[in-house]
Structure 1
Amino acid sequence: MSTQINVMRYASPIGKLSLASIGCKLVHLDFEDNDDRLHTIQNRHFKNLEWEEGGAAPAPVIKWLDSYFEGVVGPLPMGSINMVGTAFQKLVWDALISIPSGQSLSYAGLADQLGNPKAVRAVARANALNPVSIIVPCHRVIGSNGTLTGYAGGLERKKWLLDHEATMLANAA
């Protein structure tokens, strides 16, 4: 038996996004030029996927993305998202969600926050496997020396997202 996965494209200011959904839940959000990553990650979690282009994404996700790119920080649409991963990955992804918009944290800081300061590499790997980019803000994790490092969407996009969030906070003040 196969599982239907629908992929829709979303035009963002920093490139088209691929939003992949199974049923009424988003399972992956990434930049269109990372579709190989989308296929690799989702094929690990779901067997016998049947891919369909042009499907719809959950409305709360689209609404959140529209607001985010318009400069409005709103509550995350987590009820419309199904993130599949290990227990440790989910722990890291939950910690990413706790990093406030406009702020950043190092990989070491994230490992410390999780109570496991020696798990820096494992935290970095879980961060890299985040299937729901932007909404689960892996772009907020930076190097210990404050440099921008490791982002599947590219460092220019990471910088744009961090600058965008800083602007949103400044405008809200």
Structure 2
Amino acid sequence: MGEEKRQDHSPGVRFRYIAVGNEVKPSDTTLARLVHPALTNVHEAIAFHGLKDQIKVSTAVDTTLIGVNFPPSQGAFNGNVRSYIDPIIGFLVDIKAPLLLNIYTYFSYASNLRDISLAYATFTSPGIVVQDVANGYQNLFDAMLDVVYSALEKAGGASLEIVVSETGWPSGGGFGATLDNALGEKESGMKMGY
């Protein structure tokens, strides 16, 4: 029997990002202090193999790092997370990699039913709900994304792109958590294309 040729991945697979950590909380000092050095090490390994322009290294954060979230143009990180997020932002700017972001409109909706309508949170609003200077927002997702872009600008990351790494809506277990809302269906049953 001849020696088998090892194939690491299908020829059609193209790796674009490697996430180092997922929603690491700055308050978890054991893990948080390892994220920046791990990003550096993984990036150096990728660069060593000549792949730094093909595969970007980043970390996935969630919106709990945001301190000011309204209006979107005033978005800012919590002061107590800046010592964690600022070096990561600087690193991503230096290597020209995006920030990975997990956005769940459901959690914002469920925690603020008074100010956030279901239609706004589920992409079914018929018109602009929030006007912020020149930007009008018809859905919460876009507003939340712009909040993080504003926070990045204030933290020295104006050049960073954001890649949404997770999103979704629960189909059960909470107020407004239904299969129809999770699928993005209107009362007519027509699927929303997002």
Shorter-normalised TM-score: what interval?
under 0.3
Larger radius of gyration: 2
Q: How high is the TM-score relative to the length of structure 1?
A: 0.26
More helix by share: 1
